[in-house]
Amino acid sequence: TSELDIFVGNTTLIDEDVYRLWLDGYSQTRATAAVLQSDSMDHYRTFHRLERPLHAPPKLYYAFDEAFVWEVLGKKLSKGTKKHLDDISTKTGITLKSCRRQFENMKRVFKVVEEMQGSLTGRKKLQYLSFGDFAFCAELMIQNWTLGAVDSQLDDMDVDLDKEFLHDLKELKVLVADKDRIDLHKSLVCTALRGKLGVFSEMEANFKNLSRGLVNVAATMTHNKDVRALFVDLVEKFVEPCRSDHRPLNDVRLFLNHYSASVHSLDGFQHQALWDRSMGTLRGCLLCLYHD
């Protein structure tokens, strides 16, 4: 028989602060509280020193609480609003210090809205929307309607909307200005959707109103300030009419897909790229906004 000697070992790590508490006779419960306080103080000192460098952005420091953003979204990020942060803190249950941090971060990130007046989320028609809905639509606009969407080398590409693109949107009015063209568009969409929708007759009857509404929403966004009315316009001109017809979300999705794609089959329409760039984003926003 052969003998085999085995030695197993590991490194024992001893926290000197905990060891001192044990030597001093602290119970496990009292020692836990003391260690937690000491460890937290060390972290807080570190965070205090890091706060200024954190402004050049990292994780978490620029995170926003939905309840806080809901209270300030659409308002001027001015001293007047800052004075009411204590009220917002009380209303939302978020600490005043956290509200101040988020407020200052919003000023840095959303300088483009500083001159806008009034509260967007205060509109009754938009009360059912969450911050996530607004954020999703804003991200779509940043990805598709900013200068950076066509030229990633530009500075501040995620801040400035493409003014030339907005100005050109008025060209889309030709889709609803000519009776023959809108009739052909309707025919193409209805042919594609016949037998696929739960409420086909309502869609067919209201096609022209919905089409004019969508085209006019796009065609009137000729300036940055006009984009501010986008959410209200989409709800009034599309979401609410579809709700009144009790259309399920899948019907709305099918309609928007074929409505967008069928434009490519319209003879004489020369703004296909402009249409795709605008309608792609509007379609995503509408599907996001279409809920209870």
| pLDDT tens profile 222-266 | 766 677 788 989 999 999 999 988 899 999 999 999 999 999 999
**Rounded Cα gap, residues 64 and 267, in angstroms:** 48
Residue 78 resides in a domain: yes
CA 179, 184, 187, 193 dihedral sign is negative
Amino acid at 15: D
Residue 150 has pLDDT above 70, yes or no: no
DSSP label of 66: H
Closest to 277 in 3D by CA, of 149, 135, 136: 149
Q: Which two tokens stand for residue 187?
A: 């025919």
Residue 24 has pLDDT above 60, yes or no: yes
The verdict on 82 and 195 lying in the same domain is: no
Q: Which two tokens stand for residue 134?
A: 């607004």
The verdict on 182 and 109 lying in the same domain is: no
Question: In total, how many domains does the chain have?
Answer: 3
The verdict on 152 and 281 lying in the same domain is: yes
CA 154 remoteness from chain centre = 22
**pTM of the predicted protein model:** 0.60
In this structure, how many other beta carbons lie within 10 angstroms of the beta carbon of residue 6? Answer: 4
Domain endpoint, select from 122, 139, 158: 122
What is the pLDDT at residue 50?
Answer: 77
pLDDT digits (tens, 9 = 90+) for 2-17: 677 776 777 767 778 8
In this structure, how many other beta carbons lie within 10 angstroms of the beta carbon of residue 135? Answer: 15
Residue 128 resides in a domain: no
For 27, the domain range is: 16-50
Strand partners, 161: 146
The verdict on 154 and 277 lying in the same domain is: yes
